[in-house]
Amino acid sequence: MITAHSVTNFLMKKRRFAINLKIFSMPYAVWLFLFSVLPMVFVLYYSITNSENNFTLENFFEIKNYSRTFVRSIVFSSISTLISFLLGYPAAYAISKLSKKLQKIVIVGVILQMWISFLLIIYSLMTIMESNGIINKFFNIFGIDCPIINTKIAVIIGMVYGSLPYMILPIYSSLSKLDVKIIEAAQDLGAGKLKIFTKIIFPLSTPGVLSGFLMVFAPNMSSFIISKMLGGSENVLIGEVIELKFLGGQYNPWSGSAIAIILMFFIIICTSVVGYLIYYKSEK
């Protein structure tokens, strides 16, 4: 028999069940707090104090000494983002045109790289680009001797290498979601292949492109291992500076924290702008 009491009882049980579910997310919340939020608080604290534990904003002005490095970071990560877009878009487009079965195989191929430790990839890039590496040996045949390692090009190559899957995947996902009927409609209305691409396919894939930009630009902006291993002493990036302030010879966690905060805000602003663009595009 259904009574008001039994109904409320049932609903109560349901509610309790919903509350119980939340408990399962607790371990991650604790993890997040311990290893993300708390360190962030420390970084913030360090950035506004000095070695005597007194409040100061001086740390932030130190960025002046690294303005060139900061700009270099922006330029490098912009260039590498652009290159990985130019390489990644056609690749994603080509993949989306394959048969469903082949698509899966190729996508696994793209992801494969993400399964390998990036440090390993960097080491192998180092050996390839060294003066004894394959590339330079190949150049030597023609009497040229120019190892790529420790140049800007090496850093860009390293960045693009690491970025490509993160550029290809979101673009591919937005391209593969494209409705064939919409393309047919454009064709039906008189659009040739080029017009279909510029007026339909590309605009509809911009959310994927933007999120690709995000996923590539931000990590490259703060990366230090690539420039450290492949860039030599002339191509120091802002991430490397921060590392040196904490672990290196220029030990100064206070100014290191301040630079990290500035970098974080810069990335937050960039991502917010792009995020807004994605939202605007998909909602419109």
Which stretches of the chain bind another protein, using CB under 8 A?
179, 181-182, 184-192, 195, 199-200, 203-204, 281, 284
**Helices (H), ranges, the chain:** 4-23, 26-32, 38-47, 58-61, 67-97, 100-112, 118-129, 134-141, 152-176, 180-188, 193-196, 202-222, 225-230, 238-247, 253-283
The CA radius of gyration of the chain, in Å to the nearest whole number, is: 25
Please report how close the Cβ of residue 99 comes to another protein at its closest, in angstroms. 16
- DSSP code at position 37: I
- Closest CB to another protein among 10 and 279? 279
Q: At its nearest, how many Å lie between another protein and the CB of residue 168?
A: 22
- Please say which residue, 157 or 274, places its beta carbon nearer to another protein: 274
Q: How far is the CB of 175 from another protein (least distance, A)?
A: 14
Beta carbon nearer to another protein, 110 or 209: 209
Q: CB within 8 A of 134, min separation 6: which ones? A: 128
Cα distance between residue 112 and residue 12, in whole Å: 47
Q: Smallest distance, Å, CB 101 to another protein? A: 18
The DSSP code sequence of 220-252 is HHH--HHHHHHSTTT---HHHHHHHHHHSTT--
Question: Considering beta carbons, is residue 200 or 244 the nearer one to another protein?
Answer: 200
Question: Cβ 104 to another protein, closest distance in Å?
Answer: 24
Output 186 or 264, the one with its CB closest to another protein.
186
> In this complex, which beta carbon is closest to another protein, that of residue 202 or of residue 266?
202
Neighbours of 62 (CB within 10 A): 17
Cβ atoms 161, 81 nearer than 8 A: no
Angle between helix 67-97 and 238-247 (nearest 10): 120
7 neighbors 15 (Cβ within 8 angstroms) = no
Nearest to 41 by CA among 256, 255, 259, 261: 261
- Least Cβ distance, residue 280 to another protein (angstroms): 11
CB of 274 to another protein, least distance (A): 17
> What Å distances lie between residue 153 and 96, 147, 158, 213, 235, CA to CA?
30, 11, 8, 20, 10
- Which residue, 52 or 188, has its beta carbon nearer to another protein? 188
Query: What's the closest the beta carbon of residue 191 comes to another protein, in angstroms?
Result: 5
Using alpha carbons, select from 167, 176, 184 the residue that is nearest to residue 204. 176
Residue closer to another protein, measured from CB, 38 or 182: 182
